[in-house]
Amino acid sequence: MKRLLVFALLFSAAVALFVDPIHGQNSSSPPTRTAVFAGGCFWCIQPAFDKAKGVIKTVVGYSGGTEPNPTYQLVSSEKTGYRESIEITYDSTRISYDQLLDIYWRQIDPTQADGQFTDIGPSYRAAIFYNGTEEKKIAEASKEKLARSGKFGVLFKEKTWQ
């Protein structure tokens, strides 16, 4: 049976850069940004990001659904569209979005359509929740770089992501 890449690239409405609305970027604090990724169990991918230099904090939760106030019980019903996700707040002068993507790709199997590893179901499917056209371009370039690497063979190239 042929394995196909089922991977979502989704727009996120999350704020990408926290700026003081009156004075602009606070010069005494680092220029922080956020990135949101889904990749199976959020607690499984969280440690890799927590260890990365430049990551300020990580928070696990749910992204991609429409129900207000999602709970584990609601999300695990697999009827909400939510995916277990991690929000990463990072200092963009110390680590780039592209570097975060490199960490992300090492945590998942992008060819697994039904979840990640032993975590099976829609709430465990991989996704990058990009914030704006620049992040989308970087994410797509990162995916193409991985596809060209041959790590996942021809199967990775056969199916495009959403």
Q: What domains are defined for the chain?
A: 8-158 (3.30.1060.10)
Q: Which of 8, 9, 41, 138 is catalytic?
A: 41
pLDDT band at 12 (very low <50, low <70, confident <90, very high): very low
Rounded CA-CA distance 105/103 in Å is 6
| pTM of the predicted structure, to 2 decimals | 0.75
Cα within 13 Å of Cα(63), Cβ side: 28
Q: Which of residues 41 and 61 earns the better pLDDT score?
A: 61
Question: What is the rounded average pLDDT for all residues in the chain?
Answer: 78
Query: Tokens representing 57?
Result: 């904090």
pLDDT band at 54 (very low <50, low <70, confident <90, very high): very high
Q: At what angle do helices 42-50 and 97-105 cross, to 10 degrees?
A: 130
Are 126 and 39 in contact by the 8 Å Cβ rule? The answer is yes
- Inform me whether the pLDDT recorded for 7 exceeds 70: no
Query: What average pLDDT does this structure show over 117-126?
Result: 78
Active site annotation includes 44: no
